Copies of this chain bind each other. A is one copy, B any other.
Amino acid sequence: MLSGKVLVAQGGGPTAVINQSMVGAVLESRKFRNVERVYGAFHGVRGIVNEDLLDLTQETTHNLEMVAETPSSALGSTRDKPDLPYCQEIFKVLKAHEVKHFFYIGGNDSSDTVRIVSEEAAKARYDLRCVHIPKTIDNDLMVNDHTPGFPSAARFVAQAFMGINLDNWALPGVYIGVVMGRHAGFLTAASALGKKFPDDGPHLIYVPERVFDIDAFLASVKETYERHGRCVVAVSEGIHDSAGTPIITRLAKEVETDAHGNVQLSGSGALGDLLAETVREKLGIKRVRADTLGYMQRSFVGCVSDVDQREAREVGEKAVQFAMWENRHGSVTIHRTGFYSVDYQYSDLNAVAGKTRTMPDQFIAPAGNDVTDAFRMYLRPLLGSGLPDSFRLRANYVPKVLGR
C-alpha cells in the first residue's frame, strides 16, 4: 500500500448522487492508516492545477453525510480535458502535496482524463494510483451494466412524463419533450417507465441510436393523434438524420462546442421548438407544445432513486478498497448479478476510457419509435422504491338523455 495523501475530484456534468461517491471514497480512505490526509480538488483537474484543495480530513462525518444527500458536485466540476502540459502541471501539484491516490469521479471524458494522468504518471515515474469512479446520467460507459447518476435522472424523466401524460390527457394536443443524451438514448427511453395504461404517453420515443426521419416522425404523430386524439413524444436531444447531422444543427445559428469537441445540445429550447413548429405546419394541429427538460434532469433536488444512492456510495467505497488492495490503476464497474442485485469489479481503464456505450438493439422496438419490455425490465429496479403511481376514474358513463 502506498503511503501518502488521497485526492478526490469530480468531473463532468453533476448528478443527483455524485456526492455519495465522493463521500464513500472520503470516508473509506479515512479508515486506512497509510492515508495521511484526504484532499478534495475544487473543480476537478483544474482545481489540482490551480492548487485549490480542501482538506476533507477536517470535515465532520455528519456534514459529509449531509453533503452525500445533496445533489450536484460538492467539490465543483470542470469540462477541462488535460493534455500533456496540463498533466505535467497536475504532477507538480500532486508531488508537492505527496498525493499517492487519485480518485476521479466522472463519465467517459473523465475516465479518459484518469487514463492520461496515469500514463503521464508512469512516464514521469511518479508513484501514483489512479482510479476512475463511474458517473453519468447518460448511462453510456462501457463495461458497466449501468452508471450511478443515471437511475435518478431516469426516475426524474419517468416521473416528468408520467405527469406530462396526465396533463396532456386533461388538455389534449401534441406534446414534445426533449431529453438529454448526446449519443445514448437510455435517458429518453426512461420516459416509457411513466406509462401505466395502454393509451398512456409517451406514445413515441426517439433515441439517437436510430436515424430520425422527419417524414416518418410526422406520419407516426398523425397516426397517434388520430387514434388517441393526442400524442406525447419523447425525443433525445441527440437525434440526427441519415447523414449523422444532428437535427438541432439545422436550426442553431451558432453551434457552441466545448473543449472536448462536443456540440452543445442542452440549455436551449431550439430542437423542441423546431419539431413543434414542424408538426403545427405540416399536420395542421393547433395545440402543439414542446418542453426541453433541461438541467433539472441531472440536478433536481427531491427525485432520487434510493438504489442509485447506495450504488453511488458503494462505487466510491470500492474504489478505495481496489486502490489499496490491488496493485494497479483501474475503473470501478457495476455488474448485474440478480433481479435485482449488483457486484463491483476493477476494470481496465482502457476498456472504459473515452468510449461510448449506446442502447443495445433488444431495448429498441423494431419500428424505432418505442422501447421494448426488455428495456423496462432492465430499468425498473434501478428506479428504486416509492415510485409514484397514477390512477384514473372508472368509465361509468351516464346515459345521454338528449342524445346529441
Residue on B nearest A390 in the bound complex, by CB = B70
* CB <8 Å contact, B164 and A296: yes
* CB <8 Å contact, A291 and B301: no
- 0 or 1 for each of A390-404: is its CB under 8 Å from B? (1 = yes): 111111111011111
| Chain B residues with CB below 8 A from A388, complex form | 301-302
Separation of A195 and B299 alpha carbons in the complex (Å): 15
8 contacts between A and B (CB under 8 A): A13-B171, A56-B396, A58-B394, A92-B402, A167-B298, A267-B288, A269-B291, A292-B292
- A294 at the B interface (CB under 8 A): yes
> Nearest Cβ in chain B — how far from A312, in angstroms?
16
* CB <8 Å contact, A295 and B175: yes
* CB <8 Å contact, A269 and B269: yes
Residue on B nearest A271 in the bound complex, by CB = B269
> Nearest Cβ in chain B — how far from A368, in angstroms?
26
* CB <8 Å contact, A51 and B404: yes
Q: Is the interface of A mostly helix, strand, loop or mixed?
A: loop
* CB <8 Å contact, A393 and B298: no
Known pairs A14-B167, A295-B167; A63 contacts B401 (CB<8 A) = no
- A181 at the B interface (CB under 8 A): no
Separation of A295 and B163 alpha carbons in the complex (Å): 9
* CB <8 Å contact, A300 and B160: yes
Separation of A397 and B40 alpha carbons in the complex (Å): 10
* CB <8 Å contact, B77 and A166: no
* CB <8 Å contact, B171 and A77: yes
- A39 at the B interface (CB under 8 A): yes
Separation of A13 and B302 alpha carbons in the complex (Å): 24
Known pairs A92-B402, A273-B268; A166 contacts B302 (CB<8 A) = no
Known pairs A67-B393, A166-B301, A170-B77; A398 contacts B97 (CB<8 A) = yes
- A59 at the B interface (CB under 8 A): yes
Separation of A272 and B273 alpha carbons in the complex (Å): 12
- 0 or 1 for each of A262-296: is its CB under 8 Å from B? (1 = yes): 00001111101100100000000010111111111
Q: Which of A45-64 contact B (CB under 8 A)?
A: 50-56, 58-59, 63-64
Known pairs A273-B269, A402-B92; A301 contacts B390 (CB<8 A) = yes
A169 contact from B40, B76, B298, B397, Cβ within 8 A: B76
Closest 5 A/B residue pairs (Cβ): A269-B269, A267-B289, A291-B294, A72-B166, A163-B299
- A215 at the B interface (CB under 8 A): no
* CB <8 Å contact, B299 and A296: no
* CB <8 Å contact, B299 and A167: yes
> Nearest Cβ in chain B — how far from A267, in angstroms?
3
* CB <8 Å contact, A392 and B97: no
- A236 at the B interface (CB under 8 A): no
